[in-house]
Structure 1
Amino acid sequence: MTIFIIRRLVQSVILLWIVSIIAFLAVYLIGNPVDLIANDMSTPAEREAAMRTLGLDRPLYVQYLTFVGRAVHLDFGTSFMSSLPVSQLIFQRLPATVELTIFSFLISLLGLPLGVFAGLYPKSRLAKFIMSSSILCFSLPSFWIGLMAIMVFSVYLGWLPSTGRGETVSLFGVSFALTWSGLRHLVLPGVVLALFNLALLIRMARNNMLEVISTDFVRFARAKGVSERRVIWVHAMRNIMIPIITIQGAELAQLLTGALVVEQIFGYPGIGRLAIEAINTLDRPVLVAYMMLTVSIFVLVNLIVDILYGIVDPRIRLGGAHD
């Protein structure tokens, strides 16, 4: 296990280095932020002064080495637009995205018992309704669902707010939406963000359960007189959880880093919306920092998922000669 973790950490560092190069070059190619900062009446001397102020007059490799040197110390430079440290901007927005992700992920976990039920009783009306609903959640894009949710629950019914984060409380210097207003603002974006993963989990759990309950070891357990509850919740569930953990680990990272559309629709002040604002203003330091953060999250989540394999099923070897 230790050798495996060390190996994965080394691979992760190499991956982050490669991504930093790609991200830096990609952001460099999309445009010049001075074109947005300077107005049409700016003289060449004023534009050149703006370039020097932002550090864009130096060779590209020097800009990259400067960025890497700072990034090692978690310093991603200063935002071109707000003149604030990028780390500060991300730290201010990250709690909102984290709480939205956790709320959405917890909702999506309802798909596990729903999918298991649909797999155990595939011909029941409730199972057919569950599967039909999951197809809708797969088919409809999140931006359309979000707009319809705002129209129904905010405009027509007036039950829930449509934008913002609501009132927050500060704990250990970090703001959390642990108020009634904050929780009400969390419902619509959280549910909309969760629907795709909810549908995915339903279908995975159903298909895996249908496959597992028809295997020989389940028939053998039943023939031995093992109770149906133990057959399902111990023997069958252990086998269906391996692929589910794999997908859910990736989906958790996807929720955390892929809330761009939902945060934009609902005006939720998370890092996804910060990235959209940075794209619109060509704020290079913010964009590169966001890309590095998303990749780091995926790498960390995948490492945790691999470790969980061994906890769920000890037969899976994470270290040793066969790695």
Structure 2
Amino acid sequence: MTVFIIRRLSQSLLVLFITSIVVFAGIYAIGNPVDILIAGDATPAEREQAIRALGLDRSLVEQYGTFIWNALHGDLGRSFVFNQPSIDLILNRMPATLELAFVALALSLVVGIPLGLWAGLRPGTAVDETVMTGSILGFSLPNFWQGMMLIMIFSVWLGWLPSTGRGEVGSILGVRTSLATWSGLTHLILPALNLALFKISLVIRLTRSGVRETMPLDFVKFARAKGLSEKRIVAVHVLKNILIPIVTVVGVEFGSLIAFAIVTETIFAWPGMGKLLIDSIMRLDRPVVVAYLLVVVTLFIVINFVVDILYSLLDPRIRLGSAP
């Protein structure tokens, strides 16, 4: 087990290192931040001074070497625009993004599992066709278009919900969250729903296929033979078996919720990491962009690392199969 963990940890660190090279080279080789940060009437001396202050007068290799050395000490660079540590800017915005992602994840399970069960237990009926058609639309329609339609319907036409911002933030058990106030909750509904639509479709299809595969199995027939009601069979036996792969897939997909939050946060002006990333790209604030991408990649790696470890504990064949 120790060897398995060390191997997975080494692979994760290697992926993070390679990613840092690709991200840094790709971001720092494009554009010139000085053109945006310095006034057009600045003198050549002022321009040269700004270039030296930002460290842009050095070669790309030298800049990367400095970045890696500082990153090993917890410093991912200072924002060109705000003159603050990039990691601080990201961590200040992270709670809003995580809140949005967690609520979207909860919505995908609360809505997707019942609809998937409903469709799976009635194959070929109008209910099944309607639910599956809806899931196809959730997969197919662009996320930004869904967001604009939600704003159009619920904010513009009906006037039920606000379209932008986070609203008032309260405290629950010492955690600052929008869920603690009515204003924050109403501001959270539309962006969370927009972010959850794709995952709802995914959970529906996973649940339906799991139900269809489980219902003909022998233990279900045995439960019927014992005289158990259909509701108990579904709630205890079928649902218990299909929840494990569903929760596993959705758990791994949590990282993509954070990544895809960029579009949702931009549409709804949600003050999270995604909104910060878009603003930083527009201003060529390279340190913030690099720091954001590495933080998101690290989240993906950590989530997959934890899943690998849990799977190896549940099924020893996984770690044995990965041995050289």
Q: TM-score, normalised by structure 2?
A: 0.89
- Measure, in 1, the Cα distance between the counterparts of 2:116 and 2:173: 39
The answer to whether the Cα contact below 8 Å between 1:79 and 1:286 also exists between their aligned partners in 2 is yes
Cα 1:3–1:224 shift into 2, 3 Å: farther
Q: Which amino acid aligns with 2:187?
A: H
Report the Cα offset of residue 131 of structure 1.
1.7
The answer to whether the Cα contact below 8 Å between 2:220 and 2:233 also exists between their aligned partners in 1 is no
Report the Cα offset of residue 165 of structure 1.
0.6
The answer to whether the Cα contact below 8 Å between 1:108 and 1:198 also exists between their aligned partners in 2 is yes
The answer to whether the Cα contact below 8 Å between 2:220 and 2:237 also exists between their aligned partners in 1 is no
The answer to whether the Cα contact below 8 Å between 2:139 and 2:201 also exists between their aligned partners in 1 is yes
Q: Which residue of 2 aligns with 1:202?
A: 204
> What percentage of aligned pairs have identical amino acids?
48
Q: Which residue of 2 aligns with 1:129?
A: 130
Q: Which residue of 1 aligns with 2:48?
A: 48
- Measure, in 1, the Cα distance between the counterparts of 2:119 and 2:174: 45
How far does the alpha carbon of each residue in 1:243-274 deviate from its partner, in whole angstroms, 9 at most, with x for none? 43443133211001221111000000100011
Determine if the alignment matches structure 1 residue 101 to structure 2 residue 62.
no
Report the Cα offset of residue 104 of structure 1.
0.4
How far does the alpha carbon of each residue in 1:33-71 deviate from its partner, in whole angstroms, 9 at most, with x for none? 111112332232222111111111122222112111222
Structure-to-structure mapping, 1:146-165, within 5 angstroms: 146-165=147-166
Q: Which amino acid aligns with 1:112?
A: I
Matched residue of 1:67: which SS? helix
Cα 1:196–1:270 shift into 2, 3 Å: same
Q: Which residue of 1 aligns with 2:6?
A: 6
Structure-to-structure mapping, 1:165-184, within 5 angstroms: 165-169=166-170, 175-177=176-178, 178-184=180-186
Cα 1:183–1:119 shift into 2, 3 Å: same
- Measure, in 1, the Cα distance between the counterparts of 2:222 and 2:233: 7
- Measure, in 2, the Cα distance between the counterparts of 1:183 and 1:163: 12
How far does the alpha carbon of each residue in 1:164-203 deviate from its partner, in whole angstroms, 9 at most, with x for none? 1111136799642222111111000000110010011101
The answer to whether the Cα contact below 8 Å between 1:259 and 1:272 also exists between their aligned partners in 2 is yes
Match of 2:294 among 292, 309, 313: 292
Q: TM-score, normalised by structure 1?
A: 0.90
The answer to whether the Cα contact below 8 Å between 2:215 and 2:238 also exists between their aligned partners in 1 is yes
How far does the alpha carbon of each residue in 1:64-101 deviate from its partner, in whole angstroms, 9 at most, with x for none? 12111222232211100111111211111101000000
- Measure, in 2, the Cα distance between the counterparts of 1:319 and 1:309: 9
- Measure, in 2, the Cα distance between the counterparts of 1:322 and 1:6: 12
Q: Which amino acid aligns with 1:251?
A: E
Aligned length: 320
- Measure, in 2, the Cα distance between the counterparts of 1:3 and 1:233: 40
Q: Which amino acid aligns with 2:250?
A: Q
Report the Cα offset of residue 206 of structure 1.
0.7
Cα 1:119–1:171 shift into 2, 3 Å: closer
- Measure, in 2, the Cα distance between the counterparts of 1:276 and 1:237: 41
Task: Give the alignment's Cα RMSD to 1 decimal.
Answer: 2.4
Matched residue of 1:258: which SS? helix
Q: Which residue of 2 aligns with 1:62?
A: 62
- Measure, in 2, the Cα distance between the counterparts of 1:316 and 1:221: 30
Q: Which amino acid aligns with 1:39?
A: A
- Measure, in 2, the Cα distance between the counterparts of 1:220 and 1:133: 31
The answer to whether the Cα contact below 8 Å between 1:242 and 1:309 also exists between their aligned partners in 2 is no
Q: Which amino acid aligns with 1:106?
A: A
How far does the alpha carbon of each residue in 1:179-234 deviate from its partner, in whole angstroms, 9 at most, with x for none? 2111111000000110010011101111222123234x446645863745665455
Runs of 5+ consecutive residues of structure 2 not aligned to the other structure? none
Report the Cα offset of residue 2 of structure 1.
3.9
Determine if the alignment matches structure 1 residue 187 to structure 2 residue 184.
no
Runs of 5+ consecutive residues of structure 1 not aligned to the other structure? none
How far does the alpha carbon of each residue in 1:141-164 deviate from its partner, in whole angstroms, 9 at most, with x for none? 111111111111112221111111
Cα 1:157–1:235 shift into 2, 3 Å: closer
Cα 1:239–1:63 shift into 2, 3 Å: same
Cα 1:12–1:32 shift into 2, 3 Å: same
How far does the alpha carbon of each residue in 1:107-144 deviate from its partner, in whole angstroms, 9 at most, with x for none? 00021232123112223433332222212212211111
